[in-house]
Amino acid sequence: MASPFLANLLLFGRTLRRAGFPVSHSQTLDLARALELVDIGDREQVFHAARGFLVSRREELALFALLFDRFWRKHSIGDSAPGRKAPPAPRHDPEAIQRFRDVSYLSARAGAGDTEIELRDRSQTYSDDEVFQHKDFSRMSAEELAELRRLILEMRWRASLRRTRRWSEDRGGSRVYLRRMLRDAAKHGGAPLHLARRSPKTKRRPVVLLADVSGSMEKYARIILQFFYGALHGLGAGDVECFVFGTRLTRITSSLRIRNVDRALEDAAGEILDWSGGTRIGESLGIFNRHWARRVLRRGAVVVIVSDGWERGDVADLGREIRHLHHRCHRLIWLNPHVGRPGYEPLVEGMVAALPYIDDFLPIHNLQSLRALADALASLPSRKSIRRLPAAR
């Protein structure tokens, strides 16, 4: 593909983002690779390929068709007959680029018979995620929260690896693969001609996410659900389990597995009956330990709890259940949105009871804290931490 055409394709992606489309750079590059498999001289093929890669919602189809027609109108892509060269790749038009920086130009150029489509000017909105690095989630405007949602969905999540009990052939392995050597020797009259080695297989650790959706966490609850959705689809739906709790424990994994993010979050919110209610952390963790721990805390799972530690129930129950949970998992991480505030100290009774059994006490109040969590999940130690825990009463 000619470089001027690729440059205009990237410019088209930026134009869609200014118009409100959640188009990532990876989607644009995937489209560029896909266009190598179609005839770029055929306008219909290019249009349908771009629509398949860049449009994710049905209500965006009409707006996408209008933007596509306006952007590529000067570079008409006609049907190329067999044996005929495709039209030359379009080159940059400085005037066209300047016009497309002002989204209102599209409305001015629309004809009288065109369908009226609402197109908000997003030229002054935030486009660089550096703006959100240190800003607290609770202080963001609606526009900033919409941009934050896009950045969360584009984050890449990786879970640390664990060694399994199974072995596989590896030339640089530490042990001799005797079974493979005997099988090869049988093919050559019993003489071993090759020294095979093996090493243990590695797999990603499962991750269990539990979030507090009580009244004290209301400002962060919806962002946490978006974080759960991004982590579940980033790490793999089969390796992540999601729960929320207030006065009761609710499993929302099935709802968040839906590919459409809006529908997934809507279904998950519909299942939560105790949204913005009271907080019974100890009772909820007790239900998890009795009914779900044996199912989901397998193969060295990592447990992540998101809560501010306000406990309305018995604090002794919280200490007992969090101790039991710590023994069952590989790593226990507690995320508190108040940790990032200057002068914060974990003085509430719930946090005081839980802190002795927490391996990592981290903040979750801005985009930087989410990225720090992603780095922490990817670099966890292979062995379980050994800590001297308080004696159980």
Q: Report pLDDT digits (tens) over 258-284.
A: 988 889 999 998 888 888 888 899 999
User: Residue 79: its pLDDT value, please?
Assistant: 38
Query: For 332-374, how does the pLDDT look when each residue is reduced to its tens digit (9 = 90+)?
Result: 999 999 997 888 888 899 999 999 999 999 999 888 899 899 9
CATH 1.10.8.50 fits 207-378, yes or no: no
The kind and range of the H/E element at 241 are strand 240-245
Q: Which two tokens stand for residue 76?
A: 């008409």
If you average pLDDT over every residue of the chain, what do you get?
79
- Strands of the sheet containing 175-176, edge to edge, are 161-169, 197-204, 175-176
> Is residue 4 scored above 80 in pLDDT?
no
User: Residue 1: its pLDDT value, please?
Assistant: 53
**In angstroms, rounded to a whole number, what is the distance separating the alpha carbons of residues 169 and 63?**
54
Cα–Cα distances in Å, from 266 out to 148, 229, 262, 270? 18, 12, 6, 6
pTM of the model: 0.61
User: Residue 178: its pLDDT value, please?
Assistant: 81
**Residues 205 and 380 sit within 8 Å (Cβ to Cβ):** yes
Query: For 283-335, how does the pLDDT look when each residue is reduced to its tens digit (9 = 90+)?
Result: 999 999 999 998 898 778 999 999 999 998 899 999 999 999 999 999 999 99
Beta strand 197-204 with 161-169 is antiparallel
CA 349 to chain centre: 32
Nearest to 165 by CA among 207, 196, 203: 203
Q: Detail the DSSP E strand segments found in 267-370.
A: 302-306, 331-336, 360-363
Where along the chain do the CATH 3.40.50.410 domains lie?
A: 207-378
User: Residue 195: its pLDDT value, please?
Assistant: 82
User: Residue 162: its pLDDT value, please?
Assistant: 79
Confidence of residue 386 (pLDDT cuts 50, 70, 90): low
CA 167 to chain centre: 31
Query: For 160-212, how does the pLDDT look when each residue is reduced to its tens digit (9 = 90+)?
Result: 887 777 888 887 787 888 888 888 888 877 777 778 888 888 888 899 999 99
Higher pLDDT, 234 or 387: 234
